């Protein structure tokens, strides 16, 4: 059978194993949101961590962050094998929340704020491309589920999950890039702090989501396909 055949993933024989990675993932998401959300839930532009590029920039940014947070929380529920197996209805409904109250509005707003990013043209290109790919793979996953192609649905949603979580990797890469590049401000960057920060932002932006997407694809390629399972 082909990868698109209507086959659900086999049931795990030891469901307790999922806790070993779901729990740390959930705690990581909670910690990240506890740090990232408060400045935007205050609805105070003065607390924004991103300089405004146009009049409504802050409010697009607030929407992107809030809807993106919904995507991150529901992504954990979506990828949790125990929920998929024991509570399929919750899995389906949280999946719709993930798509329509998470990725879709957050991704559309990312197109706007990404195209006007104050961190330079390289970061703008990365942000826009990430938004397009994020919306695209999520849409492909949702369509596959509607067509009951569950093997394809799972693969597309794993890619979507990786892109959703890539923002955490972004925040880890940025300080490392600062650490390595800051000593070069007087030489490579000609004393320009703006050039340094644009370079740091571009590195973090491009590396985070491309690395996450490649990691997801490598993981998928190492897992047995539905066709092999069927045989």
**Tens digits of residue pLDDT in 183-197:** 999 999 999 999 999
46-90 residue pLDDT tens: 998 898 888 899 999 999 999 999 999 999 999 888 888 888 899
User: Does the structure show a pLDDT above 60 at 229?
Assistant: no
Single pTM value for the model: 0.85
pLDDT at 17: 65
Q: Whole-angstrom Cα distance, residue 220 to residue 231?
A: 18
88-141 residue pLDDT tens: 899 999 999 999 999 999 999 999 999 999 999 999 999 999 999 999 999 999
DSSP, res 18 = G
**Helix and strand counts by DSSP (H, E) for the chain:** 10, 0
Q: How confident is the model at residue 4 (pLDDT cuts 50, 70, 90)?
A: very low
Domain boundary assignment for the chain: 15-230
* Burial class of 186 by CB neighbour count within 10 A (0 to 12, 13 to 18, 19+): exposed
Q: At 14, is the secondary structure helix, strand, or coil?
A: coil
Whether 117 and 54 have beta carbons less than 8 Å apart is answered as no
Q: At 186, is the secondary structure helix, strand, or coil?
A: coil
Q: Whole-angstrom Cα distance, residue 184 to residue 178?
A: 10
Q: How confident is the model at residue 231 (pLDDT cuts 50, 70, 90)?
A: very low
Q: What is the mean pLDDT of the chain?
A: 88
Q: How confident is the model at residue 6 (pLDDT cuts 50, 70, 90)?
A: very low
Q: At 51, is the secondary structure helix, strand, or coil?
A: coil
Whether 116 and 123 have beta carbons less than 8 Å apart is answered as no
Using a pLDDT cut of 90, give the percent of the chain over it. Answer: 74
pLDDT at 104: 98
Whether 174 and 186 have beta carbons less than 8 Å apart is answered as no
**Residue of 204 and 51 predicted with greater confidence:** 204
Residues near 15 by Cβ (< 8 Å), separated by ≥ 6?
81, 82, 85, 86
DSSP, res 224 = P
pLDDT at 224: 58
13-31 residue pLDDT tens: 444 566 678 889 999 999 9
pLDDT at 223: 57
User: Does the structure show a pLDDT above 90 at 12?
Assistant: no
Task: Tell me phi and psi for residue 52, to 5 degrees.
Answer: -70, 140
């Amino acid at each position: 059978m082909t990868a698109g055949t209507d086959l659900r993933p086999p049931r795990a024989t030891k469901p307790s194993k999922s806790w070993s990675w779901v729990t740390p993932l959930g705690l990581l998401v909670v910690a990240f949101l506890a740090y990232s959300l408060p400045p935007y839930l205050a609805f105070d532009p003065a607390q924004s961590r991103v300089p405004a590029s146009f009049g409504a920039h802050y409010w697009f940014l607030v929407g992107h962050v809030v809807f993106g947070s919904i995507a991150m929380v529901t992504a954990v529920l979506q990828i949790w094998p125990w929920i998929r197996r024991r509570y399929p209805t919750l899995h389906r409904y949280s999946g719709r929340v993930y798509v329509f109250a998470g990725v879709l509005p957050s991704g559309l707003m990312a197109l706007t704020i990404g195209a006007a990013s104050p961190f330079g043209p390289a970061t703008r290109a990365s942000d826009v491309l990430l938004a397009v790919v994020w919306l695209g793979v999520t849409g492909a996953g949702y369509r596959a589920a509607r067509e009951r192609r569950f093997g394809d649905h799972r693969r597309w949603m794993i890619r979507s999950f990786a892109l959703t979580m890539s923002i955490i990797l972004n925040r880890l890469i940025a300080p490392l890039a600062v650490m390595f590049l800051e000593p070069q401000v007087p030489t490579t960057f000609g004393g320009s702090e703006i050039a340094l920060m644009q370079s740091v932002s571009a590195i973090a932006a491009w590396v985070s989501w491309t690395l996450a997407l490649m990691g997801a694809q490598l993981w998928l390629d190492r897992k047995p396909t539905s066709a092999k399972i069927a045989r």
